[in-house]
Amino acid sequence: MVGTAPWQQLHAIQQQAVPLPHPGSNPPDPGTAGVFQYRQYRLCIHQTRGRGAMTIRFADLPAEFKQVDDAWAWRQLLRCWLTIGAAIWLCGLSDNPLVWLLAFVVVGHMQYHLSVLGHHGLHRNLFSSQRVNEFVSRYLLHGPLGLPNEAMRRNHMTHHRYFEQEQDYERENYDFSLFGRDTPRGLLRWLIGAYTGGAVLPAVGRVLRGSGKQAKKDASGGEGAPGAMLWSTLRDWLPVMVSQLVLVCLWWWGTGHWWAYSLWFVAIFTLLAGFSATRAMLEHADPAEPPQRLMSFPCSAWQRYLLGAANFNFHAEHHLYGGVPACHLERLHHYLRERDALPGVVLVPSYTERLGQLLSQLRLSSAEGGAR
């Protein structure tokens, strides 16, 4: 594959990839069963300095990169919920609109952090125990955000399996031919809209499509399929309903106002949706031809806190080695970088710099189009 573009290499890898049941072809560990039950890339092709193409197998990574760190996950989870609790407490202390506005921003940002942890839960490697992983994902991560866990998992695994292809459920986040984002003004208009509810309808559409397909899959082949589909859907949405009821009571009890829960609800459809859409766009969008969509952001601490929570800024490594738990992605990045083994990955110093690059690319392409 020497001389081919990174995106072409990735497509070739995807076409040749076969499922890896477990690193080293060993039987699954009972504590991590299901971690590797989705499609993996057997070979990661990368360009090296003057030496052509080489291969690195997931199974050849150091064993410590494949171990789940439960303490890390609990720290991340507690940090988010304690911060949310503090915001509710502040609202209970003061009716000052500025305090509530600050709480709204803090809550929306912590919702985004919860969604990132929920993403890691979708890969079944946030916690070593699958029972804990599923319970936390359903009731403490996705449920509070109004998201059915299995529908989210189905959509996200489709993103990994069909990355850049038409079947990719998240393509609308990075394909600039959609939503009029092929000009600087169009991109900025889309970004502003994402934080004011504009990203809600596409996201809801993805969730509902995934939920419906999951229900059909669970009910296929059985008698009384409509009833089975209904039960499958209710089972996936039950944690959402329970979580929302608990949050209504929590906000009411914490602030003394029955309507205070609306702060949480509105934040989901504005700040959470906006942060998620922004990150997804910056990670994969590239108007160049051919595009280079595998990017990592070894950025500053404040930008990691803003958009790259829970090591999500090392996003290319996650795509290439999806079985590596999030707690090890930073170490994996340095391990691969020291060995010149990042396959066609674009390293961007910061998210803000990437946004500037995209605007410059779009400005240049718009000028060239106008000159023709």
In the prediction, which pLDDT does 370 show?
62
| CB-based burial label for 42 (10 Å; 0-12, 13-18, 19+) | middle
Higher-confidence position of 213 and 102:
102
For 141-290, list the strands marked E by DSSP.
none
Higher-confidence position of 121 and 30:
121
Model confidence over 209-246: pLDDT tens digits? 655 454 455 445 444 456 667 777 889 999 999 999 99
In the prediction, which pLDDT does 4 show?
43
Higher-confidence position of 23 and 103:
103
Q: Which residues of 285-294 are buried (b: 16+ CB within 10 A; e: fewer)?
A: bbbeeebbbb
* Alpha carbon distance, N-terminus to C-terminus of the chain: 35
Q: What is the pTM of this model?
A: 0.82
Instruction: Find the range with the poorest average confidence among 1-5, 54-58, 221-225, 253-257.
Output: 1-5
| Other beta carbons less than 10 A from residue 193's beta carbon | 16
Is 93's pLDDT higher than 90? yes
What span, in angstroms and rounded, lies between the C-alpha atoms of 173 and 191? 11
Cβ atoms of residues 74 and 41 within 8 Å: no
Model confidence over 3-42: pLDDT tens digits? 444 434 444 443 333 333 333 333 333 333 333 222 232 2
In the prediction, which pLDDT does 144 show?
98
Q: Tell me phi and psi for residue 54, to 5 degrees.
A: -135, 170
Q: Tell me phi and psi for residue 125, to 5 degrees.
A: -135, 30
| 356 confidence band (pLDDT: 50, 70, 90) | very high
Is 266's pLDDT higher than 80? yes
Instruction: Find the range with the poorest average confidence among 131-145, 244-258, 329-343.
Output: 329-343
Is 206's pLDDT higher than 70? no
Average pLDDT, stretch 356-360?
Answer: 96
In the prediction, which pLDDT does 260 show?
97
The amino acid sitting at 159 is H
Share of the chain above pLDDT 90, in %: 64
Closest Cα partner for 314 from 345, 341, 286, 344?
Answer: 345
Higher-confidence position of 57 and 349:
349
Instruction: Find the range with the poorest average confidence among 101-105, 207-211, 251-255.
Output: 207-211
129: left (phi over 0), alpha (psi -120 to 50) or beta: beta
In the prediction, which pLDDT does 262 show?
97
Is 152's pLDDT higher than 80? yes
For the chain, list the strands marked E by DSSP.
43-48, 52-57, 295-296, 346-347
Angle between helices 97-122 and 149-161 (to 10 degrees): 60
What span, in angstroms and rounded, lies between the C-alpha atoms of 276 and 140? 18
In the prediction, which pLDDT does 25 show?
32
In the prediction, which pLDDT does 90 show?
96
Domain segments of the chain: what residues? Answer: 6-371
Instruction: Find the range with the poorest average confidence among 29-33, 99-103, 184-188, 247-251.
Output: 29-33
Is 199's pLDDT higher than 60? yes
In the prediction, which pLDDT does 26 show?
35
- Average pLDDT score, the chain: 82
DSSP 8-class letter at 345: P
